[in-house]
Amino acid sequence: MAAWEFETLQLHAGQEQADPATGARAVPIYATSSYVFDSAAQAAALFAGEAEGNQYGRMHNPTVEALVARLVALEAGRAGLALSSGQAAATACLLTLARPGARLVVSKELFGGTFSLLNKLLAPWGCEICAVPPTPEAMAAALSPETVAVWVETIANPSGTVPDLPALAEVCHRHAVPLVVDNTWGGGGYLCQPLLLGADLVVHSATKWIGGHGTLIGGVIVEAGRFDWACGKFPAFTARDGRGRSYLSRAGELAFTLRARDLGLFTMGMTLSPFAAFLALQGLETLSLRMQRSCDTALALARWLNQHPAVKRILYPGLPSHPSHAVAQRTLRHGFGAVLSFETHDAAAAQRLVERLRLISHLANIGDAKSVVILPWSTTHASLSDPAKLAAGVTPELVRLSVGLESLRDLQADLAQALAL
């Protein structure tokens, strides 16, 4: 399977043979909360984590595991887990790494929900949050002996900033810090595979391009299996339980995934439903085709909007004028993302635009097959202070457009009528 290319993996990884019980070619939706044990000894071994198998639906489901296996393959990782939302994936990831007193070094250009998680949960719990520009220099300067994670987005939401992942990974590993990449905008690995560029963990909102049709909420974490969790910064990984075992002694290089499953699924119950996993699997089958089409249309729209008199500024890393263009050419493949943001001349014009659009829907999502638009200042980033919003590249006149699969000409016509004075 490792030799298959991305387009083959997105169809076959996680289900290489037809369903053994029924011959079904599609991955069945295993709608069950529980599994009959073979014996008392097997039940005890499953509960002790000493046997492989399905113990209980909060932790185990074959439909969900097919999705996990497919995404692990697409992200070139070694292990992973699925959760009930992208937000749940970020929560499980950070709680697996952090502890009171730890420092988290994060990009100051992130999805607003990630800032909510950091500011409303991790900071009151006792973590120090250090938000800096996602450059190797700024992040290196922010690292301390207490730092347990560096967190960036492949393409920042909504500024379009693309961090230099290989350079960041080098800085992180010099200080024994894992690099975590929210690869949601990297489209399930099609545009970028951060684990191959040196990152240690990838987090996704499967709600976006993985599902791809605006029909589910889900999240995923994938682990590279390279980080040294015994480096001294992660005492929870080496702490012994009542049986004298630690996450590290039980799972070795994949200790992160074992602990994230223990906290995110077993303890906090942020479980993905098998139906949502099925929808995500369906979406993945056409991921490369959808991403390519949306990226090509987004680039054409960015070039067209760049000439439009009602548009003040475009934030799209595919344009040579974007500060991240050169890095994006090195770290992304196939295209520059399916989202472009642009500024109108004032906030009133931005509000008029989203209310006038007819084909493009005004709603809170990205990565749908249908094109969608939103004003991040008053919605996705509204919980941030005005200076924090501006630091994240969010202004009152900024419009975020997630480009779907419609015809370029129809999208241009809709934008043109909505931008007309």
Ligand X SMILES: Cc1ncc(COP(=O)(O)O)c(C=O)c1O
Q: Is 227 in the site for ligand X (CB under 6 A)?
A: no
Closer residue to ligand X, CB minimum distance, 157 or 288: 157
- Asked if 219 interacts with ligand X (CB under 6 A), we say yes
Stretch that binds ligand X, among 125-133, 181-189, 254-262, 283-291 (CB under 6 A): 181-189
CB of 86 to ligand X, least distance (A): 2
186 near ligand X, judged by CB under 6 A: no
**In whole angstroms, how close is the CB of 83 to ligand X at the nearest point?**
9
Site for ligand X in 365-384 (CB under 6 A): 366
Which of 10, 147, 184, 371: binder of ligand X (CB under 6 A)? 184
**What is the 3-class SS of the chain, one letter each residue?**
CCCCCHHHHHHHCCCCCCCCCCCCCCCCCCCCCCCCCCCHHHHHHHHCCCCCCCCCCCCCCHHHHHHHHHHHHHCCCCEEEEECCHHHHHHHHHHHHCCCCCEEEEECCCCHHHHHHHHHHHHHHCCEEEEECCCHHHHHHHCCCCEEEEEEECCCCCCCCCCCHHHHHHHHHHCCCCEEEECHHHCCCCCCCHHHHCCCEEEEECCCCCCCCCCCCCEEEEECCCCCCCCCCCHHHHCCCCCCCCHHHHHHHHHHHHHHHHHHHHHCCCCCCHHHHHHHHHHHCCHHHHHHHHHHHHHHHHHHHHCCCCEEEEECCCCCCCCCHHHHHHHCCCCCCCEEEEEECCHHHHHHHHHHCCCCEECCCCCCCCCEEECHHHCCCCCCCHHHHHHCCCCCCEEEEECCCCCHHHHHHHHHHHHCC
Contact status: 229 vs ligand X (CB under 6 A): no
Q: Which of 6, 111, 229, 278 binds ligand X (CB under 6 A)?
A: 111
Least distance in angstroms from the C-beta of 113 to ligand X:
5
List binders of ligand X among 151-180 (CB under 6 A): 153, 157
Give the residue with the Cβ less far from ligand X, 46 or 113.
113
Q: Which is nearer to ligand X, 55 or 205 (CB)?
A: 205
Q: Does 207 bind ligand X (CB under 6 A)?
A: yes
Closest CB to ligand X among residues 74, 366: 366
Does the protein bind ligand X through residue 402 (CB under 6 A)?
A: no
Nearest residue to the partner ligand X, using Cβ: 86
Binding mask 49-88 for ligand X (x = CB under 6 A): ------------------------------------xxx-
Min dist. Cβ of residue 159 to ligand X (A)? 12
414 part of the interface to ligand X, by CB under 6 A: no
Among 139, 217, 349, 354, interactor with ligand X by CB under 6 A: 217
Residues in contact with ligand X by the rule CB under 6 A: 85-87, 111, 113, 153, 157, 182, 184-185, 205, 207, 217, 219, 366
